[in-house]
Homo-oligomer: A and B are copies of this chain.
Amino acid sequence: MITRAPASEPDLALGERYEAVRGFTERLCEPLETEDYVVQTMEDVSPAKWHLAHVSWFFETFLLGEHLPGYEPLEEAYAYLFNSYYVQAGERHCRDRRGWISRPTVKEVYRYRRWVDEHMERLLDRARSDLELAERIAPVVEIGLHHEQQHQELLLTDLKHVFSVNPLRPAYLAEAGPRTSSPGPGSEAGARTGGPSGFRGHEAPPLAWHAFEGGLVEIGHSGEGFAYDNEGPRHRAWLEPYRLADRPVTNGEYRAFMEDGGYERAELWLSDGFAVVQENEWSEPFYWERRGGDWWQYTLGGMRPVDPSEPACHLSYYEADAYARWAGARLPTEEEWEAAAREAPIEGNLAESGRFHPAPLAGPAAEAGAPPRALYGDVWEWTRSPYSPYPGYEPPPGALGEYNGKFMSNKYVLRGGSCATSATHIRPTYRNFFPPDATWQFTGLRLARDA
């Protein structure tokens, strides 16, 4: 269990944090072969070397180019190749063609990182003796570091996708959580040990519900500590009384939905969602595969049997919503989630554990009325809130203002971070967002009900 020590973080000098975050990115790449850095398997996925370069381009563009006198880019063309979507920062290479680019090589991309790091070191050095400079660059460095942490999570989810579509099903990690020995595809061994449910392992304890009073609550970030622009301004919202499940929905529970014809029953689905189900012939969560009588799933540790006690993962919004309807419940709003999470400790199965897979929800049943647990880590929790600006929200000026605001349509808010989110990156007001059909992220759900 990763627990963030919030007090200590601000103490860490910006330079040390820069090193820590940049170093973590590269540690995540240690298991990779050169070829693994190159591949793009769908438009949402970027090659690992693109991630490595893009996060460096961010520091180069918004800090070195603007604040380090005489700075010369290592290679002019990188500005074009490694801009993601910052229209105001210039032209950029098509997103769906990132996998076409064999050059610069991986080695050259690491050289680019070194170049940026050395110059960032110089800039941060200067800032130590130039308070005005420090004040100007500190918030941008903060954004740059959080930006890189976001890409650390994407790097993992993108690599998972890349490895998973390879018929050889290579593993990124030797282990991703406790692993049962894997029979080959369609192996009889698998079939034999599976129960009628096609599952092996223990179920999680039953759900408990915690009641919240609602009323006029304050939502959003304010005061000290870093937050993205989209987390503010802090504002009031009225909540009717509601209840929240004490834990996320598990694989075991989700399987019951499947066995009850969940994917075939139009009445459980949003109309758009059912169209997606039919068009893509979805009949189980992404990364699940039937092998003999058992359900297996691709993980960063390779193929392993689905554990019924783990939080269900890689669910789209549509699946989360349909499941909730089937269960006689609903998804929480983001305000309900935030009001509940404000007092909870920021701890859980986060990226620092190196597990990169949801952890089983074990232990005895929660007492009635127990407060929610596992709010942080494991899986991002879909809320029923479309991603919209808070009252009074204004994006910052300039290219950095494109960070969040322009994506506020056709997406839903997720809360709480996942097993691939850093403990230093998550907070109660954090608003993640994805389109409702996205499944390649570590996304799951927690049920809510009217009181």
Taking beta carbons and an 8 Å cutoff, which residues of A are in contact with B? 33-39, 41, 49, 77, 80-81, 85, 87-88, 93, 97, 99-106, 162-163, 165-168, 170, 216, 235-240, 266-267, 269-273, 317-318, 384-386, 388-389, 391-392, 401-402, 406-410, 436, 450
Contact = CB atoms under 8 A, between A and B. Distances in A.
Given A39-B102, A240-B392, A87 B450 contact: no
Contacts of A385: 388
B38 A38 contact: yes
A192 B166 CA distance: 50
24 contacts: A33-B105, A35-B35, A35-B37, A35-B105, A38-B38, A38-B102, A39-B102, A77-B168, A81-B167, A81-B168, A87-B266, A99-B99, A101-B167, A102-B170, A103-B166, A235-B240, A238-B238, A269-B406, A270-B408, A270-B409, A272-B410, A318-B409, A384-B388, A391-B450
B102 A267 contact: no
B267 A105 contact: no
Given A81-B167, A100-B166, A102-B35, A216 B238 contact: yes
Contacts of A93: 167
B103 A267 contact: no
Main secondary structure of the interface of A (DSSP, over half): mixed
B384 A267 contact: no
A270 B410 CA distance: 10
Contacts of A238: 216, 236-238
B99 A270 contact: no
List the 10 closest A-B pairs by CB distance, nearest first.
Answer: A386-B386, A87-B266, A35-B102, A271-B406, A238-B238, A36-B102, A34-B34, A38-B38, A41-B100, A270-B409
A168 B104 contact: yes
